[in-house]
Amino acid sequence: MRFGQERFAELEAQAIEENWPSDWCMAEAEREANRQTVLSNRPDADLWVFAYGSLIWDPAVQVEEYRYGALEGWQRSFCMQLEGGRGSPSQPGLMAALDQGGHCDGMVFRIAKDHLETETEFMWRREMFSGSYCPMFLPVETPQGSVQALTFVMDKNNRRYRPNLTPEETAQAIAVAQGSLGTNFDYLDSLVRHMRQLGLTDDAVFKLHARAQTLRKADQKLVP
């Protein structure tokens, strides 16, 4: 999912067709200013990025190295509302983000400094297209030592933030939501599958997956 500028034209047409909210996209100038600000004070060196969702299996940038990574004080949470892609305005889905509290096991990957400018442009288009994250540098523990990793955490001031859903409400939303990219459950299922392949654990996400799967099977049985 290498997010080129041409992808926005496709999404604009899709937004009109599917009646997405008017603020579905962060303005290009604002997104670029955010990238420049976030990266402005870091050392002239390779860049580490913490992956906890689809970046685990599809970073869509040139990667020099992967490591296991553990982030303290933040937890994987399906707290970002989706109104397009794998959800719709009438039946929103939910995407994984990082919310404060707890612990998150994931991966970190390294982007060589010679490719930093080009690759972070691609990354910001993909991760910050709607402006729902706050990119920041956080300490991530790896088997080879601690690294300061760029991490996209949930922006609590964004209207898509849904922090107070119960586990049942979350599972129900994921079980039924779908959009032009497919079902919301497929995203969760892919996340769980890749985490298990890598030996990453997250009991809350695994329980959510099991509950959403049960709800989907129950709905399918009701279909004539």
Residues 212 and 74 sit within 8 Å (Cβ to Cβ): no
Q: Residue 219's pLDDT band (boundaries 50, 70, 90)? A: confident
Task: Please state, in angstroms and rounded to a whole number, the distance separating the CA atoms of residues 61 and 80.
Answer: 23
List, by residue number, the catalytic residues: 127
Identify the pLDDT of residue 85.
83
Percent of the chain at pLDDT > 90 equals: 76
Identify the pLDDT of residue 147.
98
Average pLDDT rounded to a whole number, residues 12-34: 77
Identify the pLDDT of residue 221.
54
Average pLDDT rounded to a whole number, residues 43-49: 96
Task: Please state, in angstroms and rounded to a whole number, the distance separating the CA atoms of residues 16 and 29.
Answer: 21
Identify the pLDDT of residue 13.
66
Strands 182-183 and 178-179: antiparallel
Longest distance between any two alpha carbons in the chain, whole Å: 61
Domain boundaries, the chain: 6-219
The class that CATH gives domain 6-219 is alpha beta
Q: State the residue for tokens 């870091």.
A: 42
Q: Is the pTM of this model over 0.85?
A: yes
Task: Please state, in angstroms and rounded to a whole number, the distance separating the CA atoms of residues 63 and 127.
Answer: 17
pLDDT in tens, 59-115: 989 999 999 999 999 999 999 999 888 998 889 999 999 999 999 999 999 999 999
Q: Residue 126's pLDDT band (boundaries 50, 70, 90)? A: confident
Task: Please state, in angstroms and rounded to a whole number, the distance separating the CA atoms of residues 65 and 110.
Answer: 5
Strands 182-183 and 93-111: unpaired
